[in-house]
Amino acid sequence: MKNLTSSETHTVIVGNQLDGRGNPGFAFRNPSAPIFYDWHDHPCHQITYAKRGVTQIEGPDGWHLLPTAHAIWIPAETRHRTMIRNLDGVSVYFDPTHFPADHPAQILTFPVTAMLKEMLFYTLRWPAGATEQHPVAQSFFHTLSLLCLEHMLAKHEGVFRLPRATNPSLIRAMDTTLADPGSANLALALKQAGMSERSFRRHFHDETGMTWQEWATQARLFRAATMLAEGLRVTDVAAEVGYASLSAFAKAFTQLFGMSPTHYRKLQTGNE
């Protein structure tokens, strides 16, 4: 994976004209090669759709996963960094003055219907700088923004976010878990945090709205989704992320992603 520095990331942003608003918007295909963009922001709202591959976004409120057949919303001026692995998708950028004002203020992932997917890809006909004097583009981006907002505001089962803590003790426990989720356990988290179990559980829930076990389980499944998208065998992935039982792994994965790990792997690798 190519890790871009802050300067290299800025160069990409300028090269793709992401430093402008693009009245009313524009789009481009995402790079398929694995790449990690450093912290950045841009004046446009961003919606990235994943047809295949894995993308993880780290923002002010935590870590977000973009699975197949979903899109991720990143509001304008939101600091974030992005890790892309073999993504087949499209990123659409909206001038905030042409997007409904009642949009979500934070990063979120939402499922995409077949119709909305086709509309997102259709925006590729308008690269940066091609829409300002184009009446069809003006109308199309307006309609697309309303449909995207409708999908974002609908309630969804899967929540593909790992909340971030502000307490340095909790951050140490989180970082240790993310580095090796398969080996994570409460005893190790308590050691890293330097807290009693009672205090740790209370502070963790207050900051994240989740129990430690829920957060750790989701961290394991995030890692599993990335590994499956790279074509690793389901049995190997289950063991790597800490599941002794394949059936327990399949149940947890299906509950979060709405499909079995085998089906997910086939969709991501294009072997279905």
Q: What is the pLDDT of residues 166-213, one digit of tens each?
A: 999 999 999 999 999 999 999 999 999 999 999 999 999 999 999 999
CATH number at residue 117: 2.60.120.10
Q: What is the amino acid identity at position 192?
A: Q
Domain count, the chain: 2
Of 21 and 208, the structure prediction assigns the larger pLDDT to 208
Q: Are residues 105 and 206 in the same domain?
A: no
Q: Are residues 191 and 139 in the same domain?
A: no
Question: Where residue 149 falls among pLDDT bands split at 50, 70, 90?
Answer: very high
Residue numbers of the domain that contains 241: 165-269
Residues 84, 35 contacting (CB under 8 angstroms): yes
160 located within any domain: no
What is the reported pLDDT for 271?
A: 52
> Which of 153, 184, 212 delimits the end of a domain?
153
262 located within any domain: yes
In this prediction, residues 135-141 reach a mean pLDDT of 90
Q: Are residues 141 and 181 in the same domain?
A: no
Segment among 58-67, 134-143, 152-161, 229-238 with least mean pLDDT: 152-161
Q: Are residues 12 and 134 in the same domain?
A: yes
Q: Are residues 123 and 223 in the same domain?
A: no
Segment among 11-20, 161-170, 214-223, 242-251 with least mean pLDDT: 11-20
- Integer Cα distance of 224 and 1 in angstroms: 18
Q: Are residues 175 and 146 in the same domain?
A: no
Whether pLDDT at 44 is above 60: yes
Q: Are residues 44 and 140 in the same domain?
A: yes
- pTM for this prediction: 0.88
Segment among 30-34, 49-53, 74-78, 148-152 with least mean pLDDT: 30-34
Evaluate the omega torsion of the peptide bond into residue 24 and state whether it is cis, within 30 degrees of 0. yes
Average pLDDT, the chain: 91
Q: What is the pLDDT of residues 58-83, one digit of tens each?
A: 999 999 999 888 999 999 999 999 99
> Which of 124, 153, 182 delimits the end of a domain?
153
H or E element in which residue 31 lies: none
Q: Is 44 helix (H, G, I), strand (E, B) or coil?
A: coil
| 164: Cα within 13 Å, side-chain hemisphere | 10
Q: Are residues 45 and 128 in the same domain?
A: yes
Q: Are residues 127 and 204 in the same domain?
A: no
126 located within any domain: yes
- Integer Cα distance of 155 and 136 in angstroms: 31
What is the reported pLDDT for 170?
A: 97
Of 63 and 127, the structure prediction assigns the larger pLDDT to 63
Q: Are residues 64 and 145 in the same domain?
A: yes
Q: Are residues 98 and 119 in the same domain?
A: yes
158 located within any domain: no
Sign of the alpha-carbon torsion through 84, 88, 89, 90? positive
> Which of 127, 153, 179 delimits the end of a domain?
153
Q: Are residues 117 and 172 in the same domain?
A: no
Question: Where residue 272 falls among pLDDT bands split at 50, 70, 90?
Answer: very low
